[in-house]
Amino acid sequence: MEDLGTRELVIAGGGLVGMAVGVGALSLGASVLAFDAGDTSLRASRGNFGLIWGQSKGARGRDYAAWTQRAIAAWPAFQDEIRELTGIDTGLRTGAGLHLCLSEEEFDARSRLIQKIAGYGFPDNDARMIRRDEVRSLLPGIGPDVVGASFSTQDGDCHSLALYRGLAEAYSRLGGALKTAQPVLGITPSGSGYRVTTPEFSVWSPRVLIAAGLGTNALARPFGFPDVVIGQRGQILVTERLQPFLDVVTSGLRQLPEGTVLIGDTKEEGEHDRATSSGISYLARRAARAFPAIAHARVVRAWAALRVLTPDGDPVYDESPTHPGIFVASTHSGVTLASAHRGPLAHWLMGGQRPPEFAAFSARRFT
Amino acid sequence: MKQYQLAVIGAGPAGMAAATEASRQGLSVIVLDEQAQPGGQIYRAIEQASPQRLAVLGADYAKGSALAAGFRASGADYLPSTLLWNAERKDGHFLLDLSTGAGSRRISASRLLVATGAVERPVPVPGWTLPGVTTAGALQILLKAHGGVAQSAVLAGAGPLLLLLAQQMIAAGVAPRAVVEIGPANRLRRALPFLPRALAGWRYLVKGAGMLRALRQAGVAWYQGASGFWIEGSGEATAVHFEIAGEAHRIECSQVALHMGVVPNPQLTRMLRCEHDWHPTQQAFVPRTDVFFETSEAGVFVAGDGAGIGGAASAVLRGQLVALRIAALEGVRGAEARIPAIRRRLKRDAAVRPFLEALYAPAEEVLNPTDTTLVCRCEEVTAGAIRQAVAGGAPGPNQLKAFLRCGMGPCQGRTCGPAVTALVARTRGVSEAEAGYFRVRPPLKPLPLSELADIAED
Amino acid sequence: MLKRLEPVPAGGADKEDEGLEFDFEGTRISAAPGDTVAAALMLAGIRTTRSTPASGASRAPYCLMGSCFECLMEIDGVPNRQACMVAVRPGMVVRRQAGAARLALTGGPEGGL
């Protein structure tokens, strides 16, 4: 086993969360090493739908809405930083984010959610419910079942795979070390810090961030954390490349810059495992009801990827109650929140101020 | 929903033989095949072949006639022009979702036999995407199914198919302009240690000698030990370039057929999440099976070249063996009695393989292409971009998909898959087994969304 | 160049299954029974059958066995079909696939399949 010496921060997990925090810590001047799992590990970062989305965040409380607002506000500068470092355009596109409702029941439920979050009074959140005719003026071609939608000009999407690649490349440009195919096997207290071991390497650090998707629970348990991650598969369909035809973003159907269309579960916090023919079929039928012309498009892949949900859907950012320096970060919103992970989260990990929202994101709420 | 004891995917030699034998044993069998007629690629259009075409294509091709006739008479249900796009387990059965050209359809089967054969190894050389460049298999399909031949063609690469195609073109009266063997000049010397064992398969050696004789008699230029192969052309292929022992060659041509051997078609066994092992002499991933060709996924069998390259005669034997095994598992008494004899014939038929694998090992220059060479044809990703992404932290093909869209185009990684594995392994300095392969996901081929929406709810 | 060993059967009202003709971008192409669209075009001397969505580069059928997806064409108004897997039918209208498919935004689903 090779001893890699010491680092100021070691990250278990090279996904969207780990890389965003890594970029933030590196730009504060810290030395950082990240370990990542293998090529076929279940990766939420590859299955992300890619929305930049605020309108529905915060059903359980104001703090998640506040944290999301901070992240969205920071996104343009964050995108510029990635572009300057790597030349990669992460494709931020906001101005029209729609969640289509296919029945009056869906519309009513959505209205209550949007109203509650509007009640927090964030000035940039202009989400409101609109009826069918207004939806159609924004998105001609909706199907007869669309009764209305929630709509926000603050919301949109980015090219999430470009973001993932851009973060990994920015991390490396800033001098971050990434060891792939090296899942973390153990984190053990050693002196005033911790020794982190993988199949081939070991490294010492005063600070360890566990951001390892499904692997998070097992790594965090010895440090007094309750289980914070529920693995759940969400399904996405991806079409062939198509000429540009869709310039607004909906929560279940959006077109990427290269022309492919992503079709996802419109339940933003899904409750089912649909990595099956019937799951594919369910998504296909729902997409065709929302936007009938999409029935013509060819589906190239059905993508069942891990969705990293916490038990209540809100993020977890916490330090171990028993072992100072061991941190856990977990959220299924690794795209929207990437800018906040790069900023305030990384700052806190490296000894800066704890963001005020984080009181609500403690893992202790699950004990 | 109709239920079968056995669903066979693919109507080539293995699939036809298995379906015929399983039907004879009294099993309910269905055969699903993407082509409109039985035969697979090796016996493509066998039922339509005119005497003239049979004469051109040779005796081994003609053997497919009896096989196809037996299959037609077997009583097995047969769905041609049908794509299996997903298969999943439910209550001890497999639910199979089919695209029939007239919407989706679902059947169920107790066991599956994957008989989807082989695909040609990608040959990423500069210019391989130009119009006028095809696989050697494509030119052979033109000959078998459409009576078409290429004039002024250069056949390049390595492998028995390259020489067979040359021989068939000569028989058709349109000899290739040249045959260019890419790779080491001393192929034969490297393979000689395997020759004694191969003598047990002397018929293959005689056939090979016949190909070389045909080439010589027709006066076809035969280049060996070529390296630095590339195809010239703007808009379409106009010439090939290569070097032999430091001497540069350029041959004008309008058609180039590339070949660097075949590998098991991995799509269906990968989608079914069967375990695969790296086969170092075949230079390919092969599904892991037991002695009855059952994969790591219980109830999923694989026969024919999909179980490891063995050729058409072995494919038939493997198909029969699997059919007898499944019949025994389904309670047919005495079904396994013939298996030992089939095993002996399989062993004899395979004797020539180590010699051929050593003789026609893929050339290093197609496994490790130059930086500017396209590897993923669909998304136009170069070898250089892949090397850079691997250096930047992509450990394998699946992360390359995410970073580069490599393998994300309409062919779903079918064409570039083996090349990406080889390149990752060489860039990382690890084995191909560690480099890994693309995850294959449903639908097995791109399908209209309306067709996916069409299947019955469970 | 590619050529046929056997002549294409001539068309005629008295012969069924023979004289398969279809339209390729305004040109009439003769096919033989059993021809796929890709084979018929190749044997008629058509060299390029699509341009790629990524760079616009010219491509043509490559494997002819349904694996490589290089032969994608617009057949009877439906984009991105594998021309090597589609049998020629008389009167078909075939066009090169120019880059990414255009989604038909009007008409029912049956119009695009």
* Alpha-carbon gap: B87 to the closest alpha carbon of chain A (Å): 8
Q: Which two tokens stand for residue B116?
A: 């989807």
CB contact under 8 A, A240 and B454: no
Residue C61 inside a domain? The answer is yes
Q: Which of residues 361-380 of B touch C (CB under 8 A)?
A: 377-380
Q: What is the nearest CA distance from B220 to chain C, expressed in angstroms?
A: 18
Q: Which residues of A touch C103 (CB under 8 A)?
A: 242-243, 245, 293-294, 296-297
Q: Strands A201-205 and A193-197, how do they pair?
A: antiparallel
> Model confidence at A107, in pLDDT bands (50, 70, 90)?
very high
Which of the listed residues B240, B260, B280 is the one where a domain comes to its end?
A: B260
C52 CB-side CA count, 13 A: 22
Q: Decide if B436 and A301 are in contact by the 8 Å CB cutoff.
A: no
Q: How many residues belong to chain B?
A: 458
Q: Do B443 and A302 touch (CB under 8 A)?
A: yes
Q: Rounded CA gap, B137 and B139, in Å?
A: 5
| Best of C103, C105, C106, C110 to mutate (most A CBs within 10 Å, chain A) | C103
Query: Do residues B16 and B95 share a domain?
Result: yes
Structurally, how many domains does chain C consist of? 1
A242 touches chain C (CB under 8 A): yes
- Sorting pLDDT into bands at 50, 70 and 90, what band is A273? very low
**Contact indicator for B325, B346 with CB cutoff of 8 Å:** no
Tell me what pLDDT residue C5 has.
86
* pLDDT band per the 50, 70, 90 thresholds, residue C11: low
Of B169, B116, B147, B125, the closest CA to residue B49 belongs to B147
Successive 10-residue mean pLDDT values, chain B, 458 residues: 95 98 98 97 95 92 97 98 94 94 89 98 98 98 95 96 96 96 93 91 90 94 97 96 97 97 98 96 97 98 98 98 98 96 97 95 97 98 96 90 93 98 97 96 95 74
Q: Does C99 touch chain B (CB under 8 A)?
A: no
Strand A9-12: give its sheet, edge to edge: A177-179, A32-35, A9-12, A208-210, A326-330, A316-319
Nearest to B201 by CA among B328, B310, B298: B310
Is the pLDDT confidence value at A65 over 50?
A: yes
> Does B250 reside within a domain?
yes
Does residue B8 belong to any structural domain of this protein? Answer: yes
**Partner B contacted by C89 (CB < 8 A):** no
Residue in the block written with tokens 């080491």: B184
The dihedral formed by the CA atoms of A213, A217, A219 and A220, expressed in degrees to the nearest 10: 120
Task: Tell whether B228 and B155 lie within a shared domain.
Answer: yes
Enter the tokens of residue A121: 């009074």
Backbone angles phi, psi at B85, to 5 degrees: -105, -15
Task: Read off the CATH number of the domain in which B52 is found.
Answer: 3.50.50.60
Closest CA to A131 of A104, A155, A109, A113: A104
From the list C54, C103, C106, the residue facing A297 with the nearest CB is C103
Domain assignment present for B229: yes
- How far, in Å, CA of C71 to CA of C57, rounded? 13
Inter-chain CB proximity A180 and B446 less than 8 Å: no
Interface test with B, best of C8, C30, C42 (most B CBs within 10 A): C42
Structure tokens at A216: 């998070």
Q: Which residue of A has its CA nearest to C53?
A: A241
Q: Identify whether residues B115 and B138 lie together within a single domain.
A: no
User: Measured between beta carbons, which residues in chain A are less than 8 angstroms from residue B435?
Assistant: 39
Q: Which residue of A has its CA nearest to B98?
A: A277
Residue B343 resides in a domain: no
Mean pLDDT of chain C: 88
The mean per-residue pLDDT over the stretch A216-243 comes to 92
Could you give the CA distance from residue B46 to residue B63 in angstroms, rounded to a whole number? Answer: 9
Answer yes or no: do B132 and C60 touch at CB < 8 A: yes
Give per-residue pLDDT as tens, A139-177: 999 999 999 999 999 999 999 889 999 999 999 999 999
CA angle A147, A151, A155 (to 5 degrees): 145
CA distance A169 to chain B (A): 7
- The reported pLDDT for the residue numbered C106 is 61
> Touching C: which chains, 3+ CB pairs < 8 A?
A, B
Residue C110, domain member (yes or no): no
Tell me whether residue C104 is in a domain: no
List chains adjacent to chain A, taking adjacency as at least 3 C-beta pairs closer than 8 Å. B, C
Let me know if residue C4 belongs to a domain: no
Share of residues in chain C with pLDDT > 90 (%): 74
User: Nearest CA to B5 among B90, B108, B87?
Assistant: B108
Task: Look at residue C50 and tell me if it is in a domain.
Answer: yes
Largest Cα separation within chain A, whole Å, is: 66
Interchain contact B239–C (C-beta under 8 A):
no
CB A68 within 8 A of CB A54: yes
**The tokens 């071991």 sit on which residue?**
A197
Q: Which of A258, A284, A298 sits opposite B446 (nearest CB)?
A: A298
For A71-78, the CB contacts below 8 A with 24+ separation are A71/A336, A71/A337, A71/A338, A71/A339, A71/A340, A72/A124, A72/A154, A72/A336, A72/A339, A73/A124, A74/A339, A74/A340, A74/A343, A75/A158, A75/A338, A75/A339, A77/A339, A78/A338, A78/A339, A78/A342, A78/A343
**B356: in domain:** no
Residues B194 and B287 in one domain: no
Buried/exposed A68-107: b ≥16 CB within 10 Å, e otherwise: bbbbbbbbeebbebbeebbebebbbbbebbbbbbbeeebb
- How many helices (H) and strands (E) chain B has is answered by 19, 22
Most confidently modeled range among A261-265, B186-190, C50-54: C50-54
pLDDT at residue C107 above 70?
no
Contact (CB<8Å) C106/A294: no
CB pair distance less than 8 Å for C101 and A141: no
- Residues B113, B134, single domain; the answer is no
Are C101 and A241 in contact (CB < 8 Å)? yes
| C34: contact with B, CB 8 A cutoff | yes
Cβ distance B315 to B14 under 8 Å?
yes
* Subunit partners of chain B (3 or more CB pairs within 8 A): A, C
Q: pTM here? A: 0.94
The partner residue sitting opposite B399, judged by closest CB among A39, A303, A304, is A39
Position A40 scores a pLDDT of 73
Nearest CB to A277 within list B86, B399, B405: B86
Residues B30, B63, single domain; the answer is yes
Amino acid A272: pLDDT? 41
Q: Is the pLDDT of residue A359 over 70?
A: yes
Q: Is C40 helix (H, G, I), strand (E, B) or coil?
A: helix
CB atoms A294 and C80 under 8 Å: no
Q: Could you say which of B260, B287, B317 is where a domain stops? A: B260
> Do A18 and A43 touch, CB atoms closer than 8 A?
no
Instruction: Provide the β-strand partners of residue A302.
Output: A237
What residue of C is the nearest CA neighbor of A243? Answer: C102
Bridge-based pairing of strands B93-99 and B83-90 is: antiparallel
Phi and psi for A354 in degrees, rounded to 5?
-80, 125
Read off the DSSP letter of residue B243. Answer: E
B91 found inside a domain: yes
For chain C, percent helix, then strand, then coil, each to nearest 5? 10, 30, 55
Residue B228 placed within a domain: yes
Cβ contacts of B209 within 8 Å, gap of 6 or more: none
**Do B252 and B238 belong together in one domain?**
yes
pLDDT of residue A267: 53
CB pairs under 8 A between A and C: 47
Q: Are B305 and B311 in contact (CB under 8 A)?
A: yes
What is the distance between the alpha carbons of residues C27 and C29, in angstroms, rounded to a whole number?
6
Identify whether residues B15 and B102 lie together within a single domain.
yes
Comparing CA positions, the residue from A326, A323, A331, A308 lying closest to residue A63 is: A331
Is the bond preceding B443 in cis, omega lying within 30 degrees of 0?
Answer: yes
Q: Do B151 and C3 touch (CB under 8 A)?
A: yes
Which chain B residues are Cβ-neighbours of A40 within 8 angstroms?
Answer: 396, 398, 436, 439
Question: Are the C-beta atoms of residues B15 and B57 closer than 8 Å to each other?
Answer: no
Q: Are residues B197 and B281 in the same domain?
A: no
Buried-exposed string B148-165: b where 16+ CB fall within 10 A, e elsewhere: bbbeebbbbbbbbbbbbb
Nearest Cβ partner of B129 from C40, C59, C69? Answer: C59
Listed residue (C98, C84, C96) closest to C54, CA to CA:
C98
Query: Which residue shows structure tokens 């396209």?
Result: B374
Orientation of helix B417-428 relative to helix B397-404, angle to 10°? 100
- β-bridge partners, C3: B149
Any idea what the CATH number is for the domain that residue C35 is in? 3.10.20.440
Which residues of chain A lie closer than 8 angstroms to B449, CB-CB? Answer: 237, 239, 263, 284, 287-288, 294-299
Query: How big is chain A, counted in residues?
Result: 367
CB contacts of C105 in chain A (<8 Å) are 140-141, 245, 293
Q: Between chain A and chain B, how many beta carbons pairs sit less than 8 Å apart?
A: 120
The type of residue at B120 is E
Structural domain for B274, as ranges: 3-119+263-332
Among A165, A239, A302, select the one facing B442 at the smallest CB separation. Answer: A302
Burial zone of B213 (CB within 10 Å; 0-12 exposed, 13-18 middle, 19+ buried): exposed
A86: its two tokens: 């790597």
**Does some domain include residue C10?**
no
User: Of B224, B245, B260, at which residue does a domain stop?
Assistant: B260
Q: Is residue C109 part of a domain?
A: no
Q: Which two tokens stand for residue B23?
A: 């039907």
**Per-residue confidence band for A337, with pLDDT thresholds at 50, 70 and 90:** very high
Residue A26 structure tokens: 């590196």
Tokens 């991806």 locate to A238
**Nearest-angstrom CA–CA distance, B444 and B287:** 17
Answer yes or no: is pLDDT of A88 > 70.
yes
What pLDDT does residue A275 have?
56
Distance from CA of A46 to the nearest CA of C (A): 21
CB within 8 Å of A32: residues ≥ 6 apart: A7, A8, A9, A10, A11, A22, A25, A26, A171, A175, A176, A177
Position B87, amino acid: A
Query: Could you tell me which of A283, B104, A291 has the C-alpha nearest to residue C103?
Result: A291
Measured CA to CA, the distance from residue B109 to residue B326 in angstroms comes to 12
Task: Give residue C86's domain range.
Answer: 21-98
Query: By the CB < 8 Å criterion, does C55 face chain A?
Result: no
CATH of the domain at B417: 1.10.10
> Is B99 domain-assigned?
yes
Across the range A171-187, mean pLDDT stands at 95
Identify the pLDDT of residue C16.
52
If one counts the domains in chain B, the total is 3
Residues on chain C touching B379 (C-beta within 8 angstroms): 54
DSSP 8-state code for residue A242: B
Q: Which residues of B47-57 are buried (b: 16+ CB within 10 A; e: fewer)?
A: eebeeebeebb
Strands (DSSP E) contained in B267-310 are 276-279, 284-287, 300-302
Q: For residue A105, give both structure tokens.
A: 């029941």
Strand-pairing partners, residue A156, are A52, A94
Q: Look at B397 and A39 and tell me if their CB atoms are within 8 Å.
A: yes
| Statement to judge: residues B177 and B63 lie in one domain | no
Tell me: do B127 and B232 sit in the same domain.
Answer: yes
The pLDDT value recorded for residue B456 is 61
**Residues B246, B312 within the same domain:** no
Query: Do the chains contact at B451 and C43, CB–CB below 8 Å?
Result: no
- Cβ–Cβ under 8 Å, residues B381 and A140: no
Nearest to A38 among B392, B395, B452 (CB): B395
